[in-house]
Chain A
Amino acid sequence: MSAVAAKPQAGGAMNPTAMAVGVVLLIIILGACYYVSPNLGLTALIGVIVGGVLIGFGTHFVPVGGAPAAMGQAPGIATGVAMLAAGAGLAGLFGGAWAAPLGTTVATITGGIGGGLMMAITCMMVNFVYVYGMGIPAASGKVLHDPITGDSQAEFKSQGTEGHGLPFVSFVGGVIGGILAGAGGTLIYLALLDLYKATFPTLMSATHAQVLPVAVSVAGMFAVAMFLVNAVLTAYNITGTIEGPHDPKFKRWPRAIVASAVASALCGFVAILIVAI
């Protein structure tokens, strides 16, 4: 369980055939959804797919160092990719769900800001502990100069490590990741909530007010479930650790976009089938 063992092994190359199969699958699912529920269902599915893609893309920005970061051996936040993104995204979902009556746009942005705020506070506290608790300045291991501030990094890297703390570009990456993940989670929730609010009363032969708690709860649970599926898939894509948008692994994002789109379309379609048939 050393820092060496945590290094990624999986290839960064794209697999064009598989990508094409993915896109075809996506179109088939969209077509099937149009067939069973042309209006409400398709709108919800598109919302879910966009939300899932936002989560998959956003997770790439979150600087995660895993176990080596906890020893100051590698830059980033010392926890797992999927779970940090989930923490930020779900905090965003909390705010977004609260703002749901204010309309989709406002609620989605509120959710995004909630996730970004969570990441901003967390990243700031990480640097606070590194600097004032442990006396270690931030340094990136992947680039010589911070792409945003232009600060040189290499000479602040202590001996025998790959860097430590959160350089400014990682901080910004974390906030962007939180915003995208929070907005994505909220969008999935809102898409499913609108669908369920419209269809549950007939399905369960009850009034709007009666089914509202069930619709909220089911949409919320599905948003959490799809969030975790997308975040874990992205974690598989970046295999463990990433420093932020300047990391070479960040270039793998197109794969994750296709993967998230297919996975969310699939899960979303099943969630829509509950009320469509």
Chain B
Amino acid sequence: MSVKIEVIAGGVPHDKIMIAGLVSTLVCIYLTYLNAFTNTQMFSFFGGLAVVAALIWGSHTIKVLCSYGIGTGVPSAGMIAFGSGTIAMLLATKYGMLAPIVALVLAAVIGLILGYVSNNILNMKIPAMIQALTEMAVVGALTVMGFAAMITGGFTFTGLTTSTATFLGFPITSYANSFLGGGLIAVAFLLGAIAIQHPFNACLGPGWKQDRMLMLTAECGFLSMIVAAVMSFAFISAGAALISLIVAIIGWLYTYGQFFAMSKRDAAAWLDSKPIPDTEGH
């Protein structure tokens, strides 16, 4: 899947997207702490919104990186981002209130070293490589954290490794039925890894437009949020999961419609059941 990609300038500068993405992701992740303060699970959907914000930032980073032609497919960038991010995120979950910040710093360090490794040891010599891998590791860590918050209502290490079920009226603690023990982290991993690379992979070409790609990222984020909300029914109260589901469906419908409109705007023609247009010489 190696594609010749032209560097396209224009649109909102990358630094702006990065700062906006970072701040809104962190704010949304911290808003899930309202769960702990109010002792409900109603605010879990903020985790999903954090995922959307982080993905928008990450997909633009992928665009910056892959504009240089890294010699292998766009999807691999998403894989390395989440591979390194997931590990950092799990260590960070042990730090309570500081978890999102620890995840950010730790992922940045891992990404920085991985960037150095690929740029210098593997001799790729791509100017944006180090910064891009750093950003993507952070995005990977925060996205998985957002999914964890959304599905289980929080992201403490204990919360992710245990779940409480009521059996014949007695509450029992189960380890196998938890976010980590049940392997749901694998789903969060791939949901993010595909959603982060898909927008650029799908929109690349000479007619690439920033707003269309970012709208598609938001759409992918909300789509992932829908299925994450369905999974969250197994962990959090039905009301809280329903709120997540409704927020996700509304967001998805809006962004999907917008993406269709933008594609219609950018397409050469919008035809239904028409033959191939006649072109000169063919």
Contact = CB atoms under 8 A, between A and B. Distances in A.
**A/B touching: CB–CB < 8 A:** yes
A37 interface: no
B2 A217 contact: no
Nearest to A220: B183
Interface stretch (B25-33, B88-96, B266-274): B88-96
A10 B125 contact: yes
Contacts of A11: 123, 125
Interface string B70-89: 11110111011011101110
B238 interface: no
A211 B186 CA distance: 18
Interface string A1-37: 1100110111111110111011001000000000000
Interface residues of A, number: 61
Contacts of A233: 80, 114, 117-118, 122
Interface in B198-223: none
Nearest to A82: B76
Nearest to A86: B79
B106 interface: yes
A22 B123 contact: no
A81 interface: yes
B48 to A, nearest CB: 21
Contact of B83 (A83, A204, A228, A262): A228
Nearest to B3: A1
A8 B186 contact: no
Contacts of A15: 120-121, 123
Contact of A8 (B1, B71, B82): B71
A114 B19 CA distance: 45
B79 A82 contact: yes
B175 A214 contact: yes
Tell me whether chain B's interface is mostly helix, strand or loop, or mixed. Answer: helix
B114 A18 contact: no
Contacts of B73: 80, 82
Nearest to B158: A204
Contacts of A22: 117, 121
A13 B79 CA distance: 26
Contacts of B110: 266-267, 270
A236 B72 contact: yes
Interface stretch (A39-47, A129-137, A140-148, A252-260): A252-260
Contact of B183 (A25, A82, A221): A221
Across the A-B interface, the 6 shortest Cβ-Cβ residue pairs: A239-B71, A18-B120, A213-B176, A5-B4, A229-B83, A225-B83
29 contacts: A1-B2, A5-B4, A9-B71, A10-B123, A12-B123, A19-B121, A80-B73, A82-B73, A83-B75, A206-B175, A213-B176, A214-B176, A214-B181, A222-B87, A225-B87, A227-B83, A229-B114, A233-B117, A235-B71, A236-B118, A239-B71, A258-B121, A259-B117, A262-B113, A263-B117, A266-B113, A267-B84, A270-B110, A271-B90
Given A237-B122, A255-B121, 7 more contacts: A5-B4, A206-B175, A222-B87, A226-B87, A228-B79, A236-B72, A270-B110
